[in-house]
Amino acid sequence: MVNPRYGEILGRSADELIGHRLGEYVDPQDVAEFESLFRALVTQGEPFQVEQRYVRPDDSEVWINNHLTLIHDEGGQPSHAVAVALDVTQRRAAAQQREMLVSELNHRVKNTLALMQAIAVQTFRSASRDERTKFEGRLGALAEAHNLLSQEKWAGSELRDVIARALQPFLLNNPDRIRMAGPAVPLSPRLAVVLSMIVHEIATNAAKYGALSNETGRVTLDWEVITEAPKPRLRLIWTETGGPPVTAPVQRGFGSRLIERSARDQLGGEATVDFLPRGVVCTVTCALDEAQ
């Protein structure tokens, strides 16, 4: 039996379909998969769902989401199968178009970052090595956040992965110097990029002046999701111990201002840097995007 809508999807009449194996109309590239699933359905009674290409009489392709279930007779023997078919051609085409646009975006952003790096080399040619290193580090953190998002097709990233990418340069010699602890927190692309920059900046300051600047310093990085507020909020706490004696600076450096402004202006949250005797403590709090 074939209902009229199924015939419309395949571009064939009921007479053309009845009496024929469904696999005859499956794209040759997908026939083996379909037949394997169908054999499992008949022999083991396992229903299956699969998206495959079908060929219409004009040689055009249509993507169909098939869900097949085996029906048994009163004696428990296989009687017939019921196939529910959904035309997903437009959805597949939209997904392919979106993937192509993301790939193009990734290509353009990487080219832009490479251009920025070239401009920076020219701009900082007469600057100190320290200034060049700081700028390249910030640019590198941005690139790493972008690479992670590219892998995730810009659907966002997991907080632990974002932090690990940002801290990777600081853990090459001693991976155990920074301990991370916290729940799984999915981040939107916007939060992933900004938090990556903030964590990189905190770690850079620690490598220059704090717990990562000697052989004995350690860092604990904890985070939690606060649900009591109207919107869930993320609180990230960076705690240093074992570093050189801490002295509060007379005035905020560029790195500290960057951390505070990024948290306030780009995340709608706040960041505090406390220069305690035992070590620096930096706390970043921001709202999680509603989509998360």
- Mean pLDDT per 10-residue run, the chain (292 residues)? 85 84 79 84 84 87 89 84 88 78 64 62 64 64 61 68 83 80 88 83 86 90 87 93 85 74 85 90 87 45
Token pair 């959805």 in the structure block, residue: 91
Q: Supply the pTM of this predicted model.
A: 0.53
Residues 7, 12, 13, 17: is their CA dihedral positive or negative?
A: negative
CATH superfamily of this structure's domain 4-87: PAS domain (3.30.450.20)
Both tokens assigned to 257: 């201002």
Both tokens assigned to 23: 């696999």
pLDDT at 105: 62
pLDDT at 231: 83
> Domain locations in the chain?
4-87, 92-287
pLDDT at 130: 67
pLDDT at 291: 47
pLDDT at 197: 81
pLDDT at 289: 75
CATH architecture of 92-287: 2-Layer Sandwich (3.30)
Identify which of 262, 261, 135 has the alpha carbon closest to the alpha carbon of residue 196: 262
Same fold, 4-87 and 92-287: no
pLDDT at 147: 65
